Amino acid sequence: MRHLRVPNREVEAVLGHIRAREWGAVGMRVFSSKDGFSRLIPLGPNAPEEFPESLAMFPLEVHEGVPVDKIETDWLALLVNEIDQETIDSLGESLPSNHEFIGDMMIVRLDDNAAPYADAIARAKLATHPHVRLILNDEGVQGEFRIRQLQPIGARLGGSVLAGPTLEFAPPEILSTTVAVKESGRVIRCDPTKAYFSTKLQTERLETLALAKQLREELGRPLRIADPFCGVGPAIAPLLVEPNLVGDLLAADLNPDAVGLLFENLSKWERQKYPSEPIPLSRVYENRLVGVADASLLDENEDIVGKWDVIIVNLPHRTIELLPNIISLLDRTSPSLIRGRVIVEESEIESANTQIQSILPPIQSGKPTPKLHIKRDYSASLRLCSFEAWIASS
């Protein structure tokens, strides 16, 4: 295999040229010359016979290739091959310190300082995460459907990485944001650019499962569960895994794309057919009321009011405002449960608790007074909180 012999201090610059043109040998690594003064850069089949002037001064040598033996796990160590150390130091905290995985996608947040280096960051991150197909910059959540604005900054195509201008040539399937996420033994199909989905809510969903099992124990029968802001259905997934937990199910969302993905998910989870396109809220099966609906209008539907044992309220910016509509959906002839999420200023948690307690009907005796529990920071001052309310029968 041909190798380019490059003095140590010039290796980074030359590697930059070679990577940009995809002339390197995939799966082979750079290694040191015997005298230790140079490095040998392996060249792949794309490398030309004759190099441009900027590289022609380095001698070509034929050696056996040395396979990549271990994957570098520190992406910043690889970023040094892309950007000079001074620039890296000046970027400081602008460089993304964490990332989120959704299926085989990695999502990072680049601020204005880091954005010009998006392709270098993408190459370094993809090199340290060989299972990632696509890396995207998160430009924020938009609108009432809470859809993410995700901009592709790098993708893996076979053995090479596309980033910067080369990304334009990526085949559409490589840039697809529809992915499968495995959670609680179920595969959830989602597309965060079309419908809300967060991998960070897994613990929350398992807590909801534990609460529902507790209520089933008390009622001694499967539950009628409503998730009127269900998105693609992740909160329902673990509930359906538990045998004899879900009797009747209402799963609705205002976003038709979310409902389309929900139907794909329900078809797989329940091994029964759901519509291939989103439809308005309908009884697809006797015990399955699913489809597109505005949750704030459900209390106008006699088929839905007063019928549910558990209601999941995950519209954190509007949960408190919508609580009165939600309460009327509960079957008050037996104990029931509301599981909600709220975004609130940390300084206003106490007053939000008082407000929630004043809206809710009486709480089952022996059960705790509903209170917001902080789950994580939403911004510098806002907190994402959860609560559960055990409602007494009337």
Ligand X SMILES: C[S@@+](CC[C@H](N)C(=O)[O-])C[C@H]1O[C@@H](n2cnc3c(N)ncnc32)[C@H](O)[C@@H]1O
Which residues contact ligand X (rule: CB under 6 A)?
144-146, 195-197, 201, 228-231, 234-235, 253-255, 258, 294-296, 314-315
> Could you tell me the two tokens for 192?
């965060």
The widest CA-to-CA distance across the chain, in whole angstroms, is 87
The kind and range of the H/E element at 3 are strand 2-7
Which of 309, 306, 297, 146 shows the shortest CA–CA distance to 230? 146
Is 58 or 378 the residue whose CB approaches ligand X more closely?
378
Task: Tell me the closest approach of the beta carbon of residue 189 to ligand X, in angstroms.
Answer: 12
Angstrom distance (rounded) from CA 103 to CA 199: 9
Is 196 or 387 the residue whose CB approaches ligand X more closely?
196
Is 231 or 370 the residue whose CB approaches ligand X more closely?
231
Task: Tell me the closest approach of the beta carbon of residue 146 to ligand X, in angstroms.
Answer: 5
CB atoms within 10 A of CB 113: 13
Task: Tell me the closest approach of the beta carbon of residue 312 to ligand X, in angstroms.
Answer: 7
Task: Tell me the closest approach of the beta carbon of residue 228 to ligand X, in angstroms.
Answer: 6
Is 96 or 231 the residue whose CB approaches ligand X more closely?
231
HSE-CB for 199 with a 13 A CA cutoff: 17
The kind and range of the H/E element at 154 are strand 147-157
CB 313 within 8 A of CB 332: no
Is 79 or 236 the residue whose CB approaches ligand X more closely?
236
Is 28 or 258 the residue whose CB approaches ligand X more closely?
258
Angstrom distance (rounded) from CA 8 to CA 40: 9
The partner residues of 313 in beta bridges, in order of sequence, read 340
Task: Tell me the closest approach of the beta carbon of residue 227 to ligand X, in angstroms.
Answer: 6
Task: Tell me the closest approach of the beta carbon of residue 61 to ligand X, in angstroms.
Answer: 56
Closest-CB residue for ligand X? Answer: 231
Residues whose CB falls within 8 Å of the CB of residue 57, separated by 6 or more in sequence, listed in order: none
Task: Tell me the closest approach of the beta carbon of residue 333 to ligand X, in angstroms.
Answer: 26
Is 61 or 294 the residue whose CB approaches ligand X more closely?
294
| Contacts of 297-300 spanning 24+ positions with Cβ under 8 A | 298/228, 298/252, 298/325, 298/329, 299/325, 299/328, 299/329
| The residue type at 273 | K
Four-CA torsion 371, 373, 374, 375, nearest 10 degrees: -140
Tokens 């910059």 locate to: 137
The rounded radius of gyration (Å) of the Cα atoms in the chain is: 27
Is 99 or 317 the residue whose CB approaches ligand X more closely?
317
Instruction: Supply φ then ψ for residue 255, to 5 degrees.
Output: -90, 115
Is 163 or 327 the residue whose CB approaches ligand X more closely?
327
